[in-house]
Copies of this chain bind each other. A is one copy, B any other.
Amino acid sequence: MAAESDEPARRRLSRAEAKARTRALLLDAAARVFARKGFTGASVEEIAETAGFSIGALYSNFGGKEALFLELLSHRQTDRIAEAAQTLDRYEPGTGEAAAELGRLLLDVADKDIDFAPLQAEFWLYAVRNPDVLDAMAANLRAPRQALEGVISTSLAQQGAPAEVSAEAVATVVAALFGGLVRQRRIDPASVPEELFGQALKWLFAGINAGTTPAATESE
């Protein structure tokens, strides 16, 4: 009673802050449960319990299971690709330092953040099966991809790469390779050693700078 009327927005939590906290906890729990059980396999009961709330609280804060999932898909695309972009920005692509850092990042995503890749796969499957959200998914992937494109673009210029090499194309290749290697490492870790991602990027950038194209007939 005492701390109710004289402290308008601080002192413990305001009602709005409490609600925001509940929402955040539910979103965290949802991310974990969706990653572990899949969208269809996850139950709202387990999500609510994991967050420490009841089913009623979930429905009070979100429209339902699908709304919760779509909120994650749209606003929780932290995408570790952005981290790769930052790493490539700090170190020069094609160097040993960048390769070592990217290897660390790959292991981090594949081995430590065990919910990341499965949740991403769930997002992808949902988008492929529901054309309505396909655009949202594409938009979410575009942001980190452009960050990657930016650092690659300046790097290509510095290294004197042929002008017709598109930074967007290289960024797409790097991102696809990253995702593919993360997934392969989850299935067969021995086949994807720590250095592989960095090594592949060394090859890639060396090949780009090696000339317009190895078969110099007139391919493009």
Interfacial residues, chain A to chain B (CB-CB below 8 A): 36-41, 94-96, 99, 117-118, 121-122, 124-125, 127-129, 134, 137-138, 141-142, 145, 168-169, 172-173, 175-181, 183-184, 186-188, 191-193, 195-196, 199-200, 202-211, 213-215, 217, 219-220
> Are A142 and B179 within 8 A (Cβ)?
no
8 Å CB contact of A204 from B121, B145, B200:
B200
Residues of the B chain whose Cβ atoms lie less than 8 Å from the Cβ of A169:
193, 196, 199-200
How many copies of the polypeptide does the oligomer hold? 2
Q: List 19 A-B contacts (CB under 8 A).
A: A36-B129, A37-B129, A38-B125, A94-B215, A99-B219, A124-B187, A138-B187, A138-B188, A141-B187, A169-B193, A173-B181, A173-B200, A175-B180, A176-B176, A176-B184, A195-B220, A202-B207, A202-B213, A210-B210
For the complex, give the distance between the alpha carbons of A211 and B117 in Å: 34
Known contacts A118-B129, A206-B213, A207-B208; 5 additional CB pairs below 8 A are A96-B219, A125-B125, A172-B191, A172-B196, A179-B183
> Are B172 and A95 within 8 A (Cβ)?
no
Residues of the B chain whose Cβ atoms lie less than 8 Å from the Cβ of A128:
117-118, 186-187
Residues of the B chain whose Cβ atoms lie less than 8 Å from the Cβ of A210:
206-207, 210
> Are B172 and A181 within 8 A (Cβ)?
yes
> Are A137 and B215 within 8 A (Cβ)?
no
Q: A202-B207, A207-B204 are in contact. Are A215 and B96 (CB under 8 A)?
A: yes
A210 to chain B, nearest CB (A): 5
A79 to chain B, nearest CB (A): 13
Residues of the B chain whose Cβ atoms lie less than 8 Å from the Cβ of A181:
172-173, 176
Q: A209: nearest residue on chain B (CB-CB)?
A: B214
For the complex, give the distance between the alpha carbons of A220 and B142 in Å: 34
Residues of the B chain whose Cβ atoms lie less than 8 Å from the Cβ of A168:
191
